[in-house]
Amino acid sequence: MPLATLKSFPHPTPHTPHPTPHTPHPTPHFPITPSPHHPTPHTPHPNQRCSNLRLARDIE
């Protein structure tokens, strides 16, 4: 399945180092809204799809 994601997104490389700084971000975001707030700011992101795919796999 990871192959399909890479095929759809030609910029998976820059997305790898991004998750690192994004990890500490959820902490301050959680107090505002646990789940409903997270997907909102992630939508406008250029890698929203990449993140969504990763989230879906994480949930499963």
45 touches 51 (CB < 8 A) = yes
Q: Give the chain as a 3 state SS string.
A: CHHHHHHHCCCHHHHCCCHHHHCCCHHHHCCCCCCCCCHHHHCCCCCHHHHHHHHHHHHC
pTM for the complete prediction? 0.13
Which tens digit of pLDDT belongs to each residue from 13-48?
555 555 555 555 555 555 555 555 555 544 555 555
Residue in 39, 60, 33, 34 with CA at minimum distance from that of residue 51: 39
pLDDT of res. 4? 57
